[in-house]
Each structure stands twice: as structure tokens, then as C-alpha cells.
Amino acid sequence: MRSEAAPQPGDLERFVSAGKGRGLRARRRYAVGELLFSCPAYASVLTVSERGSHCDGCFARKEDLSKCGRCKQAFYCNVECQKEDWPMHKLECSAMCTFGQSWNPSETVRLTARILAKQKTNPERTQSEKLLAVKEFESHLDKLDNEKRELIENDIAALHHFYSKHLEYPDSDALVVLFAQVNCNGFTIEDEELSHLGSAIFPDVALMNHSCCPNVIVTYKGTLAEVRAVKEIEPGEEVFTSYIDLLYPTEDRNDRLRDSYFFNCDCRECVTKDKDKEKLEIRELNVPPSAQAVWDMIKYARNVIEEFRRAKHYKYILCLTLTPLACELLEICELSLDKMGALFEDSNVYMLHMMYQAMGVCLYVQDWEGALRYGQKIIRPYSKHYPSYSLNVASMWLKLGRLYMTLENRMAGVKALKKVLISCFFIAHGKDHPYISEIKKELEDH
């Protein structure tokens, strides 16, 4: 298969976007599915839970990875990957041996340590910084509340604790700025089912501003970020990506944007709020609920989502081997769905959120039938609420396809997997992406 043409220098330009600061603008027309640019990670770190199944250097998913001979905890495709990653891995290798089970810096701390090391060994501008340098990142330091500042101070303490051997630290004020920059400009790398693989810094990708109706999508090929058009883009048009999950109604999206990125969105979707009524659909009842009753249920839904997030973090993530805790999480989901379902339609986004969480727990405990039931309820409303070529929709079709195959419903499985390719992946990932090859192989094998 012939590879797509490489983007040309000058096809995109940095400019001052009215009311948004720096931005990225097209200088020529881009068709849907066309690659605007790619950006290698300035620094990246594989999440601890994926060690052994993905290469610590390039994030490739492979069997029979080679283990680091010192710490025995990092895994690589081959000697070349290991040598290339050594300047970064050596920050952690001896520390992991020294601390043993007590070695537990957060992913943000690990990523920041790598940025500091990279800035020391590569002071010149890198291939990841053609349009925006890491040192130009916004920190929004003046907007941090006491809680966010305290979290940064805790991260700085962990950085000193775990990385004292191989790092030279700037002063405390500079570290506060750097952590604030990482928090605002870091990226989460996910696999084809949107499972978390790691964190990275992609400076040129960070130049793009946010819109809730974006015209590009960011996907990953290992530790390479690729930006493709999901709408036609005309010369002079600004390039917009989405910083957040677009499932939720306008108020929720802007709450998230204010909390994480310190701005409100003024895109067409946020101004018109056209999709909010569908996203918050109420059941047709003999006695219509009052506005206050609806608002109370929305507040309940938001609280239970936060409660579940915390329970998942402290119980499920930290105690993965304890199946009873997974069952407890499933009970939270089911109870909240029963309560919300008295007022909300199944297509209501708060119902969908808890169904998605319940599906995740079912997958964890290998209840394939339960996971499939939730997925079947989710997929149609997802297709309605999300924009075209959404990875959230595609990943749900992919999960359904694999569940159908596991449960030996080949016809439904083939249909779902083909839908993944045609409806999204060819556009979002390009036709030569490894994920596409893997899905095609799954289709051939079945």
C-alpha cells in the first residue's frame, strides 16, 4: 500500500487567534482524512500497568519483549529501542531497584523528570518544536487555586524523593511553572479501545486551540502524534482540536475546560447549545417532572459520577486483583442507573456515562454477556451525540465487535469490526496504521 504524502513545510502557520492567543492556521485546503502534520513526542512515559505488553521506548504492542537487565521492570522491542530509551530510563532504573515496591511516583512526576533531562541534554529546539517550544507553554500560574498549588508542591516533593541521583533541579519557582505547564499541555496516549497507555508532551500539537466542534483529530502511532482533518479545512481557516470528551452538555464541558485549562469555549456548539436537549433527554411520564426535579437529578448524576471516579481510583485501580471491589463498583453503577432511569431516558448522557463504567467493570471481571448488554445500549446514542469520526464511537464498535467474536456471533462481530474501519479508523488513523492491520487480521482469522 502506498504511503500518504508527507505534509510540506509552510502548509500550516502559527498565528495570533483573536481572543485565544496563539493558534494554528491552514495555508491550503485539506480534505477529510488528510494528514496535516505529525509530531514525535518531546518526552513520553509508558504507564506502569502496560509494562510487559508494550515497549517502554516506542509503545509498540508486542509479545516476547526483552526485559531491562538491571531493574527487570522495563521492556523493549529490541536492543535499538532499549539504547534509544536509556537516557530516559536511567532516571528510573536504579531508583526502581533501590525503592522496590515503594517506587511509586505519579505519571506526571515521571514525565516531568524526563522533560528536565531532555532540556539538559538537548538544549536546542527539537523536531517536536517546529512551531511551539516547550518553554513557551502557558502555565496559567496566576489562575491556580490553593488545591492545585498544593498538588504541584506534592509532585515536586516526589520528584526530589525519587529522582535525586540523575537530575539537576532548577529552583522551586521554576519547578512550579514546569509542573503547571505539563498539567495544561500534556497529552494522554490511548490505544484503539481508548485504554490508557501513557503520557507525553507534543509541543506542536499543543499549539492548536480547542473547539467543541473540531475540524481535526489527534491519534497516535506509538509515540508519534498524527493530526488529520475530520472536516474540510479551507486556506486561512484555524485548526481546532478538542481538549475534552465531547459527550457532555455545554455547562459540563465548560466546567471541565475552566478547571483544567482556565477558559470558556465560545464555539458554535457552546453558543447555540443545540445538542443539550437531546443529551439531557427526559422520559415521557404521565406527570411531567418539574424543572427543580430535573435539576436535582442532574446534580445527583454529577455527584455520583465524581463518587465513582474516586472509588475507581482508590479501590479499583490500586487493588486490581480484588474482584469483590469491582463488584462494589458495579453495584454503584446499577443503583445510580436505577435512580436516574426513573427520570432520564437511556440516551441521556449521564445514563450513558454510568453504563460505560458498568461495561468497563464487566470487561474487567470477564462478564462478556454483561459487557455486551451495556455496549448495545450505548452505541446508538453515542453515534448521535458525538461528532463524525469520533474515536469514542469507533472504540465502542470495536469493543462490541470483539465481544461478539468472543461469544461466537461471527456475523455481528464482522459487521461491527468493518464499521470501525469504514466509519472512523480509515479517516482518523490513515490506511497504513498498525491498528487497521490488526483489525483486518481479526476479520481474516474469524
State the SS3 of 107-147: HHHHHHHHHHHHHHHCCCCCCCCCCCCHHHCCCCHHHCCHH
Q: What is the pLDDT of residue 445?
A: 84
- 25, 208 Cβ separation under 8 angstroms: no
Q: What is the pLDDT of residue 307?
A: 85
pTM for this one? 0.93
Show the beta-strand stretches assigned E in 321-393: none
- 293, 300 Cβ separation under 8 angstroms: no
Question: The C-alpha cell of 316 is what?
Answer: 479499583
Domain range 386-445, its CATH number among 1.10.3470, 1.25.40, 1.10.287, 3.40.50: 1.25.40
Please tell me the distance from the alpha carbon of residue 433 to that of residue 1, in angstroms, as a whole number: 11
- φ, ψ of residue 176 to 5 degrees: the values are -60, -45
Please tell me the distance from the alpha carbon of residue 103 to that of residue 216, in angstroms, as a whole number: 38
Cβ contacts of 416 within 8 Å, gap of 6 or more: 397, 398, 400, 401, 404
Which whole-number Å values give the CA distances from 385 to 50, 73, 78, 252, in the listed order?
A: 31, 41, 43, 14
Please tell me the distance from the alpha carbon of residue 297 to that of residue 340, in angstroms, as a whole number: 7
- Which of 262, 337, 193 has its CA nearest to residue 21? 262
Q: What is the pLDDT of residue 153?
A: 97
Q: What is the pLDDT of residue 90?
A: 93
Question: The C-alpha cell of 189 is what?
Answer: 496516549
10-residue stretch averages of pLDDT, the chain, 446 residues long? 62 95 97 97 96 96 94 95 95 92 94 96 94 96 96 96 89 96 97 96 98 98 98 98 98 97 96 96 94 96 88 52 72 94 97 96 93 98 96 98 97 97 94 94 88
Question: The C-alpha cell of 433 is what?
Answer: 496504521
Q: What is the pLDDT of residue 308?
A: 83
Please tell me the distance from the alpha carbon of residue 93 to that of residue 99, in angstroms, as a whole number: 10
Q: What is the pLDDT of residue 419?
A: 96
Question: What are the residue ranges spanned by the domains of the chain?
Answer: 1-41+202-243, 42-196, 386-445
Fold of 1-41+202-243: Beta-clip-like (2.170.270)
Cβ contacts of 177 within 8 Å, gap of 6 or more: 139, 141
Q: What is the pLDDT of residue 446?
A: 73
- φ, ψ of residue 106 to 5 degrees: the values are -70, 165
Question: The C-alpha cell of 226 is what?
Answer: 498524527
Please tell me the distance from the alpha carbon of residue 391 to that of residue 423, in angstroms, as a whole number: 10
Q: What is the pLDDT of residue 6?
A: 63
Task: Report the CATH number of the 42-196 domain.
Answer: 1.10.220.160
Q: N- to C-terminal Cα distance for the chain?
A: 23
Q: What is the pLDDT of residue 317?
A: 46
Strand partners, 226: 38, 219
